[in-house]
Structure formats: structure tokens, C-alpha cells
């Protein structure tokens, strides 16, 4: 066996040079990085154009395509295209203006014109996902081939039919079956049918109901039926979640300073059901649903795209991305697309224009969206979508707030309390709980809640079991964070990070400077704003463990970081910050939120608490000691800081160490 070793050699930057390189690198998770280029260009149009010019641009675009849709030529193209479709697709796609949609995409030079061909052909359920080059590359292999699924189809069907049984809730069983029959009347399903009438080979998925608050969502599990196992992909489509919404709002605050902005979410109705399954994959598009009347499985054939098929997710995201693209490029809409939710923002005085533009686009290409009922929102200073609440009341003052919706908080609270009451969690239940906690946690600042989340993850990794003391305490803590955690605050300065450099020295034989702390605050222009330099007293060193340990350099380095966060809390509040540390152990503890010894645990709690209180988006990095500009003040060497303001931190150190020992 051949072993290859690679060594990298380099000369560390001088501290001043490293500071400039750090500023150039910036913050790794700046919101601007989540903003697609074309969306950035649309935001710039809001800065360059007056309200009247933007209204005129949108009216001209809508007029152009409305007139084009009414031409005899395009009507004939649409008629011929629909005539070529299979009968089930004609029913499902009858309202779609496919020819018009195609021309819009061509006119706007969309890079993925294959999306039109796949819509006409229909959504495949099996096999390799086509490469689109519009999503990030990520290879995910199939578990087995389509041919393997065909050969094992009889065994797979038997497994599914055995698993098709009552949920234990009579009302839920009745509702699921009733909704299934309704889908048959809409042309989304065919059946019920006898097992003997199915073609050979054929694959069957399992249909069941999932309670989501007062509503029930129908899930077609095509994993148990074998369909999803045949799917192979080379890309990972990413829906535009809260980070993209945040990036849009930060961008709008920059181009529309002092303006009032409102937002609205547009929800596509039965979104997946607006697309048809490819005729060649209908043999694998059967589902088994428990029939509460016969107390046995009933079999149906899917015609519209199911919620539960892996390839359906890839395909749906591909389609809605094309619609999003038209809105951004053609109508200059500052909007995002997360599956079937389109979230758009508008100046208060432009709300009618924005609403008219979105409505016109959906109607022109034949996509149904909620125009009444609870999912039909109006433009407002508070937008709810994806389980989050975006508050725009202070937009004109340069601030927006992200929080979990009250419904999400209540649902999660109920789920956690049920888990605590049962004292036992299966692996599947644990995975569901973890997923919901993760999404809710992302809207709450700080990482104290993430430590709780880690305990739930450990529970899942163990395969599910009775709650131990740590997991129970973690869930109880999360309940508290869910209700008291501060919303995420964003401003137009959020993407202008600060840089903290901290260091400590420990030389116990030195009579005047046995343990020194140093910290330097740098802005996004590379300017050294302030620094601190101090030595710990014997009493303070004792609190860090100097009497029982040979070295307290780890504790001192961690303390220096905490002191820096406390001292510069006024500028770090709701900001991004990159913390450069030359001690690997401190960096690792700051990232993981875990420490071993008593002093480390106590200090770490202080770090997490101040991080949560400030709402700071912190990133922790390693800097070589030779390049760390904070190394100088930690050793009382102030030669580089003649023109930099020194700040006092001794009272803060006493405050932080209060209760130690």
C-alpha cells in the first residue's frame, strides 16, 4: 500500500499584515453571500429608478406578455403542445401557459431551458436527476438501480401492503381516505383498483396522514415502496430560506435608506399537484391507503406529483426557480422562493404595483396561488412565512427582526412537553423533534439553546431511548429559550463585521506581569479602534486554578475573549464578528460550546450568555501566535498602539470572575 504525505511550509504574516488579510477575508457567513447576483441587480434597480419609472417598467412588461399571450400564433402553439400530452397531463396542466412561459424564459436568457422540456414530459419518479447547472454540485448515489426495483417489485409491494394499516386514530383514517377520494375527482389520482389489475412490474408507495396543527397533510411515502432508492443526483437544489430573505432586507435597507417597507408571502395552491407525472413512470406511481370502511389497503395510481417523492423535490425546485427568475429579472421583484412560498417586499408607496406585478405573473403562466382564505396575506409590516415572523416596523430606522411565529413556538412547546411527559423517544420521534428544534433555534440568537440541541442529537444517534437526566434538562432549557430568546436583529450594518484579536500570556515567575490579557478591536476597514492590556492579580489567577494547575493559559485565553466581548458589547450588538484566537483549545471550546474543567465551564457559560445578549453573529478562527496583534498588549508591549485608544477592563474582569472559586 502506498502512503502519501504532504507538508505545507510558510512564513507567518507580520501582525499588521495579518489584520489586513483578515479584513479582506471578511466574515464567512455574511448575508450578502446568500444574495444571488441577479437579485442584487434587481435591488440596485430600486435605487437607480424612481417609483414612477419602476411602475412604468412593470406595466410595460406585463402589457407585452399579455398581448403576446393573445396572439393567434401563441394560442396555436399552446393548443398543439397540449394536444401532444398524455390524457392525465392534459387535465393537470390545462391551465398552464407553457408556450408563453418558454418564450419569457428565452427572452430573459434563462440558463436552464431544459426545465420546459421536463414539464412537458412530466415528472419522473425514478432514476438519475438531470444536471441543470443552476444548483450547487453534490453527488448522491442511488441505493439500487431501476432494474433492481423492477425485479424486487413483488417483494416491495408485499412490504408496503403489510405496513398499510390504521393510524390508531379513526378520525384521521377517515379524513385521509376522504381526501384521497377528493383527489380522484380532481384528476390527481385514479382508483381505487384491485391489486390484480396492476401491471407487472409495478411499485406501490404508502399514503398516510400527518397532523400539522388543525390540518392534515397527505404524505406519499415512496421510500418504503422502493421508488426513492433508485434516485441518483449530481446537484443539491437549495430552497431560498430565511438567510436569503435576510439578505434581501439588508440589501433593501442599503438602497432604500429611511423608507418604509412592507412584505407579503404568496402561497402556491396544492403546488406539487399542479405538475403531472411522466407517463413512462406511471408503473411505479401507485400508493396504498388504509380504507377505514374495509379495514384493508386500497390502491390508487398517482397522476399528479406526490409530496414524498425524492425526484419530485428536485423537479419542483427547478420549476419554481424559473418563476422566481422571471419575477426578479423581468419585474425587478425583491423576492425569494422557498418551495411553494414566494416572499416579496415593497416600498410602502409601491405596494399596489408590486402586488399587481406578482399577480399578473402567476396568472399569465397559469400558476394557482392563494387568493383567499388564511394563506392569502396582505402587504404588512409583519410577514409570516416558513414558520418565521419578520417584523419591518423599524425598517426606516435601519432594523428588522426575525423570530419564530407564535404558532411554531406553541407547536414546539406542545411537542417538547409531550416528550417530557412520555419519558421515552423513538429514533424517528427524536429525528422529528431535532429537525423542528433546529429550525426554530436558527431564529434565536446565541448558542445556549444549541447546547440543548446537542443533547437531543445524541439521543437520536443512540437509536432512541428513555430520556436521561441530561436530555430531560436540555428539553426543559429549550422551552425557556423558545419563550425568552430574543429575536434576530438585522441592520444595514450587519454585513460590516468587526474583528476581535485576543491573547493571554502566563509566566508565573515574572514578578510584575505573571498573567497578562490583551485584546484589540478592528473595524471592517482594518483600522485599530481600541485595545486593552492588563495583568491579573494573584487572587484572580487563583480563581482560574493557578494553585492546582501548572498552567492556566487556557483559562486566561478564554477569559481574554470574554472580556473583549463584554468590553465592546456596544459596537458588537446585533453585528457580525470574527474572533481570532491563537489557542486551539479555546477556539475549539468557543465553537463547540463544551468545556471540561469547572473554570472552563463557568467561563464558557459567560461567553454564551454575552453572545446571546448581544445578538452577535460570532465566528471563531485560529491565528498563529506570530501573527496575533493582541500578543503585544497581552505582554504589556504597547509599541504598535501609540495612536490607539486604550480601555480599562479590570472592573469587567472582577465582574466576570465573581462567584469563581
For the domain that residue 565 is a member of, what is the CATH number? 3.30.420.10
- What is the grid cell recorded at 624? 498563529
Query: Averaged over 363-376, what is the pLDDT?
Result: 91
Task: Please identify, among 376, 398, 420, the residue that sits at the C-terminal boundary of a domain.
Answer: 398
Dihedral Cα 488, 489, 492, 498, nearest 10 deg: -80
What backbone phi and psi angles, to 5 degrees, belong to 500? Answer: -110, 130
Q: Is position 9 within any domain?
A: no
My answer on whether 282 and 195 are in the same domain is: yes
My answer on whether 351 and 421 are in the same domain is: no
Per-residue pLDDT band at 472 (split at 50, 70, 90): confident
Distance between CA atoms of residues 205 and 282, nearest Å: 12
Residues in the chain: 661
Query: Averaged over 44-50, what is the pLDDT?
Result: 95
pTM of the model: 0.84
Query: How would you classify the pairing of strands 617-622 and 576-581?
Result: parallel
Distance between CA atoms of residues 29 and 415, nearest Å: 31
Q: Is position 568 within any domain?
A: yes
Q: Is position 27 within any domain?
A: no
Summarize pLDDT for 374-400 with one digit per residue, the tens.
Answer: 888 899 999 988 778 899 999 999 999
My answer on whether 50 and 38 are in the same domain is: yes
Domain containing 412 equals 405-491
Would you state the pLDDT for residue 457?
A: 74
My answer on whether 319 and 302 are in the same domain is: no
475 vs 396, residue with greater confidence:
396
Q: Is position 1 within any domain?
A: no
Query: Averaged over 429-438, what is the pLDDT?
Result: 73
- What is the grid cell recorded at 90? 392534459
Query: Averaged over 173-196, what is the pLDDT?
Result: 95
My answer on whether 326 and 298 are in the same domain is: no
Answer whether 630's CB lies under 8 Å from 589's CB: no
Q: How crowded is residue 14: how many other Cβ atoms within 10 Å of its Cβ?
A: 12
My answer on whether 507 and 648 are in the same domain is: yes
Task: Please identify, among 309, 326, 354, the residue that sits at the C-terminal boundary of a domain.
Answer: 309
Task: Please identify, among 432, 460, 491, the residue that sits at the C-terminal boundary of a domain.
Answer: 491
Q: Is position 125 within any domain?
A: no
My answer on whether 268 and 335 are in the same domain is: yes
My answer on whether 467 and 513 are in the same domain is: no
Q: Is position 16 within any domain?
A: no
592 vs 335, residue with greater confidence:
335
What are the E-state strand segments in 110-251? 137-140, 189-193, 204-212, 215-221, 233-235
Would you state the pLDDT for residue 450?
A: 63
Distance between CA atoms of residues 486 and 444, nearest Å: 6
Summarize pLDDT for 484-536 with one digit per residue, the tens.
Answer: 667 778 887 777 899 999 999 999 988 889 999 999 999 999 999 999 999 99
My answer on whether 111 and 248 are in the same domain is: yes
Q: Would you give the DSSP letter of residue 12?
A: P
Q: Identify which of 281-290, 382-391, 407-416 has the greatest average pLDDT.
A: 281-290
Summarize pLDDT for 558-585 with one digit per residue, the tens.
Answer: 999 999 999 999 898 878 899 999 999 9
My answer on whether 258 and 147 are in the same domain is: no
Q: Which of 90-99, 134-143, 235-244, 457-466 is predicted with the least confidence, judged by mean pLDDT?
A: 457-466
The number of domains in the chain is 4
Burial class (CB in 10 A: 0-12, 13-18, 19+), 373: exposed
With H, G, I as helix, E, B as strand and everything else as coil, classify residue 451.
helix
The yes-or-no verdict on residue 446 having pLDDT over 70 is no
Q: Is position 91 within any domain?
A: no
Domain of 228, CATH number, reads: 3.10.10
Amino acid at each position: 500500500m502506498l502512503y502519501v504525505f504532504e507538508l505545507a511550509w510558510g512564513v507567518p504574516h507580520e501582525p499588521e499584515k495579518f489584520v489586513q488579510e483578515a479584513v479582506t477575508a471578511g466574515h464567512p457567513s455574511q448575508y450578502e453571500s446568500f444574495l444571488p447576483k441577479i437579485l442584487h441587480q434587481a435591488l440596485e434597480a430600486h435605487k437607480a429608478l424612481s417609483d414612477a419609472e419602476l411602475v412604468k417598467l412593470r406595466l410595460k412588461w406585463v402589457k407585452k406578455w399579455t398581448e403576446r399571450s393573445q396572439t393567434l400564433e401563441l394560442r396555436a402553439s399552446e393548443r398543439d403542445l397540449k394536444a401532444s400530452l398524455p390524457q392525465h397531463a392534459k387535465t393537470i396542466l390545462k391551465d398552464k401557459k407553457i408556450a408563453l412561459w418558454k418564450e419569457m424564459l428565452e427572452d430573459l436568457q434563462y440558463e436552464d431551458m431544459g426545465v420546459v422540456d421536463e414539464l412537458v414530459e412530466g415528472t419522473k419518479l425514478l432514476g438519475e436527476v438531470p444536471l441543470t447547472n443552476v444548483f450547487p454540485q453534490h453527488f448522491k448515489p442511488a441505493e439500487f438501480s431501476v432494474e433492481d426495483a423492477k425485479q424486487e417489485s413483488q417483494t416491495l409491494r408485499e412490504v408496503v401492503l403489510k405496513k398499510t394499516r390504521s393510524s390508531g386514530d379513526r378520525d384521521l383514517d377517515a379524513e385521509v381516505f376522504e381526501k384521497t377520494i377528493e383527489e380522484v375527482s380532481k384528476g390527481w389520482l385514479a382508483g381505487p383498483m384491485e391489486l390484480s389489475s396492476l401491471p407487472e412490474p409495478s411499485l406501490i408507495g404508502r399514503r398516510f396522514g400527518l397532523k400539522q396543527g388543525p390540518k392534515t397533510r397527505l404524505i406519499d411515502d415512496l421510500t418504503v415502496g422502493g421508488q426513492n432508492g433508485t434516485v441518483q443526483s449530481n446537484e443539491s437544489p437549495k430552497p431560498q430560506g430565511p438567510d436569503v430573505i435576510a439578505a434581501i432586507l439588508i440589501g433593501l435597507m442599503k438602497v432604500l435608506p429611511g423608507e418604509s417597507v412592507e412584505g407579503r408571502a404568496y402561497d402556491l395552491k396544492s403546488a406539487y399537484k399542479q405538475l403531472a407525472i411522466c407517463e413512462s413512470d406511471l408503473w411505479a406511481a401507485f400508493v396504498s391507503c388504509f380504507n377505514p370502511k374495509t379495514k384493508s389497503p386500497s390502491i390508487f395510481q398517482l397522476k399528479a406529483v406526490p409530496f414524498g417523492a425524492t425526484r419530485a423535490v428536485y423537479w419542483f425546485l427547478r420549476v419554481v426557480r424559473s418563476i422566481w427568475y422571471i419575477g426578479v429579472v423581468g419585474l425587478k421583484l425583491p423576492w425569494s422562493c422557498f418551495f411553494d412560498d414566494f416572499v416579496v417586499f415593497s416600498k410602502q408607496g409601491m405596494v399596489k404595483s408590486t402586488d399587481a406585478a406578482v399577480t399578473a405573473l402567476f396568472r399569465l403562466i397559469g400558476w394557482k396561488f392563494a387568493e383567499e382564505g388564511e394563506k392569502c396575506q396582505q402587504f404588512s409590516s409583519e410577514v409570516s412565512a416558513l414558520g418565521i415572523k419578520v417584523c419591518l416596523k423599524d425598517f426606516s430606522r435601519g432594523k428588522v427582526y426575525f423570530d419564530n411565529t407564535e404558532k411554531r413556538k406553541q407547536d414546539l412547546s406542545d411537542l417538547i412537553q409531550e416528550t417530557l411527559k412520555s419519558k421515552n423517544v423513538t429514533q424517528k420521534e427524536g429525528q422529528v423533534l431535532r429537525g423542528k428544534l433546529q429550525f426554530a433555534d436558527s431564529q434565536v440568537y446565541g448558542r445556549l439553546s444549541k447546547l440543548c440541541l446537542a443533547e437531543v442529537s445524541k439521543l437520536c444517534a443512540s437509536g432512541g431511548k428513555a430520556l436521561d437526566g441530561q436530555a430531560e434538562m436540555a428539553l426543559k432549557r429549550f422551552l425557556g429559550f423558545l419563550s425568552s430568546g430574543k429575536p434576530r436583529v438585522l441592520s444595514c450594518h450587519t454585513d460590516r463585521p468587526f474583528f476581535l484579536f485576543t491573547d493571554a500570556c502566563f509566566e508565573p515567575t515574572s514578578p510584575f506581569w505573571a498573567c497578562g490579557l490583551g485584546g484589540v478591536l478592528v473595524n471592517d476597514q482594518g483600522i485599530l479602534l481600541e485595545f486593552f492590556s492588563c495583568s491579573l492579580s494573584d487572587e484572580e489567577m487563583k480563581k482560574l486554578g493557578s494553585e492546582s494547575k501548572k498552567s492556566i493559559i487556557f483559562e486566561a485565553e478564554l477569559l481574554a475573549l470574554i472580556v473583549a466581548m463584554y468590553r465592546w458589547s456596544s459596537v458588537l450588538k446585533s453585528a457580525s464578528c470574527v474572533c481570532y484566537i491563537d489557542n486551539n483549545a479555546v477556539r475549539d471550546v468557543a465553537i463547540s460550546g463544551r468545556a471540561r474543567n469547572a473554570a472552563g465551564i463557568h467561563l464558557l457559560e459567560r461567553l454564551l450568555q454575552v453572545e446571546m445578549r448581544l445578538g452577535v453573529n460570532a465566528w471563531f478562527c485560529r491565528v498563529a501566535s506570530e501573527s496575533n496583534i493582541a500578543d503585544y498588549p497581552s505582554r504589556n508591549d504597547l509599541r504598535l498602539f501609540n495612536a490607539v485608544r486604550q480601555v480599562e477592563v479590570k472592573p469587567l474582569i472582577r465582574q466576570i470572575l465573581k462567584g469563581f472559586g
